[in-house]
């Protein structure tokens, strides 16, 4: 929902300011449209339906995984395509992976979005409308900005959307922003008043290998990125999640784990090892026993590590797979 348009429309209609709060409250609780907002006058509901689209996004396609994961293809007002994902867990969590940009400029070699051209940043309303789409279907408890795009390069809109996520039932402590290591954004997040979690997409502790996988490392070397993460921890006192996609024969050997353990302070970092499901990729995913052995090396060096339960692989909704094949159609 375009909340700025809502405000100006209500002002043009001579409505009191509390009307905007009423509309937003209904939307955040999962209302499907203005007609459900029974504490608004019927005539006003009709005016809003004509003048303020209930969502800035149009649903193009839904794809449901056998594990319950739901991926949605959405279209913006200028016909840009984005994807967002809802992952449901047996413990009751409903975790949403939000996109922050159309495409991505940072060209990480394992990431399908990185092979798309960057088009533009998403607005706060477009980011919120991804979460609201799922909120209309179910409760959501967690959000991670790990969809299409680099969130730290669109941080104003990401933070503006994040400020409203608690109204949907997602606290700041259950919101995380994932970054490839965009230091200006990490430093800005450090200074915010919201206790949002930080996740670092790392994937190699060797500078040359990391640059080969993630060209952004040439601009912001890993040593400098880790220093920014440590500044975040010193201010927020919140552990940083390290995301490490396991690529067969590339970054998954015991010496890679030794290198990773050597650069991570176990007080500050926890590692999530992510099985990789290749889709039109130059890489293959590591075997399960290889991932387990990698984890064992980290834990023997005192670094906490878990193997992520990967969801949505059968619908290309797993880590690094959001690419919007329809964008080229």
- Cα distances from 37 to residues 3, 23, 32, 169, 174, in angstroms, run 16, 7, 9, 19, 28
Q: What pLDDT is recorded for position 329? A: 42
Q: What pLDDT is recorded for position 212? A: 96
Which residues are CB-contacts of 31 (< 8 A; sequence separation ≥ 6)? 37, 136
Per-residue pLDDT of the chain (329 residues; tens, 9 = 90+): 899 999 999 999 999 999 999 999 999 999 999 999 999 999 999 999 999 999 999 999 998 888 889 999 999 999 999 999 999 888 889 999 999 999 999 989 888 887 788 999 999 999 999 999 999 999 999 999 999 999 999 999 999 999 999 999 999 999 999 999 999 999 999 999 999 999 999 999 999 999 999 999 999 999 999 999 999 999 999 999 999 999 999 999 999 999 999 999 999 999 999 999 776 778 999 999 999 999 999 999 999 999 987 765 665 655 555 556 654 44
Q: What pLDDT is recorded for position 109? A: 87
Q: What pLDDT is recorded for position 318? A: 53
Token duo for residue 67: 């594990």
Q: What pLDDT is recorded for position 219? A: 96
**Architecture of the domain whose range is 1-54:** Orthogonal Bundle (1.10)
Q: Give the C-alpha separation, 49 to 52, whole Å.
A: 6
Fold identical between 1-54 and 78-328?
Answer: no
Q: What pLDDT is recorded for position 262? A: 98
- Cα distances from 238 to residues 34, 153, 178, 235, 272, in angstroms, run 40, 22, 14, 8, 16
CA nearest to 238, candidates 159, 288, 172: 172
Q: Which fold has domain 78-328?
A: TIM Barrel (3.20.20)
Are 184 and 136 in contact by the 8 Å Cβ rule? The answer is: no
Q: What pLDDT is recorded for position 90? A: 85
Q: What ranges make up the beta strands (E) of the chain? A: 58-64, 70-75, 81-88, 94-97, 101-102, 120-121, 142-145, 175-179, 197-201, 240-246, 269-275, 305-307
Our answer to whether residue 104 is catalytic in this structure is no
Q: Give the C-alpha separation, 268 to 225, whole Å.
A: 13
Q: What pLDDT is recorded for position 113? A: 80
Cβ neighbours of 80 (radius 10 Å): 18
Domain residue limits, the chain: 1-54, 78-328
- Cα distances from 239 to residues 16, 75, 196, 229, 233, in angstroms, run 44, 35, 11, 9, 6
With H, G, I as helix, E, B as strand and everything else as coil, classify residue 269: strand
Cβ neighbours of 41 (radius 10 Å): 11
Q: What pLDDT is recorded for position 327? A: 47
Name the catalytic one among 97, 104, 108, 319.
Answer: 319
Token duo for residue 14: 């001579």
Q: What pLDDT is recorded for position 311? A: 62
Name the catalytic one among 83, 126, 150, 243.
Answer: 83
Our answer to whether residue 229 is catalytic in this structure is no
Q: What pLDDT is recorded for position 282? A: 87
């Amino acid at each position: 929902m375009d909340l700025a348009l809502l405000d100006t429309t209500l002002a043009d209609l001579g409505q009191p300011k509390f009307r905007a709060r009423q509309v937003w409250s209904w939307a955040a609780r999962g209302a499907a449209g203005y007609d459900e907002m029974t504490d608004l006058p019927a005539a006003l509901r009709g005016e809003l339906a004509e003048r303020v689209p209930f969502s800035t996004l149009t649903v193009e396609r839904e794809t449901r995984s056998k594990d319950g994961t739901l991926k949605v293809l959405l279209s913006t007002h200028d016909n840009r395509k984005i994807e967002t994902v809802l992952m449901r867990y047996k413990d009751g969590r409903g975790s949403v992976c939000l996109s922050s940009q159309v495409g991505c400029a940072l060209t990480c070699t394992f990431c399908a979005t990185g092979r798309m051209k960057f088009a533009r940043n998403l607005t706060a309303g477009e980011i919120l409308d991804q979460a609201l789409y799922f909120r209309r279907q179910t409760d959501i408890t967690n959000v991670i900005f790990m969809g299409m795009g680099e969130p730290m390069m669109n941080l104003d809109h990401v933070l503006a959307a994040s400020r409203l996520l608690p109204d949907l039932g997602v606290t700041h402590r259950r919101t995380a922003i994932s970054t490839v290591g965009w230091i200006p954004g990490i430093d800005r997040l450090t200074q915010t008043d919201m206790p949002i979690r930080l996740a670092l997409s790392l994937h190699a502790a060797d500078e040359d290998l990391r640059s080969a996988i993630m060209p952004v490392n040439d601009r912001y070397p890993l040593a400098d990125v880790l220093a920014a993460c440590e500044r975040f921890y010193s201010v927020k006192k919140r552990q940083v999640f390290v995301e490490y996609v396991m690529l067969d024969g590339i970054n998954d050997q015991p010496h890679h784990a030794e290198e990773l353990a050597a650069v991570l302070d176990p007080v500050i970092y926890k590692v999530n090892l992510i099985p990789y499901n290749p889709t039109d990729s130059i890489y293959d995913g590591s075997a399960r026993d290889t991932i387990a052995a990698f984890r064992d090396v980290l834990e023997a060096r005192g670094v906490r590590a878990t193997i992520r339960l990967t969801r949505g692989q059968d619908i290309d909704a797993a880590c690094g797979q959001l690419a919007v094949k329809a964008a080229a159609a």
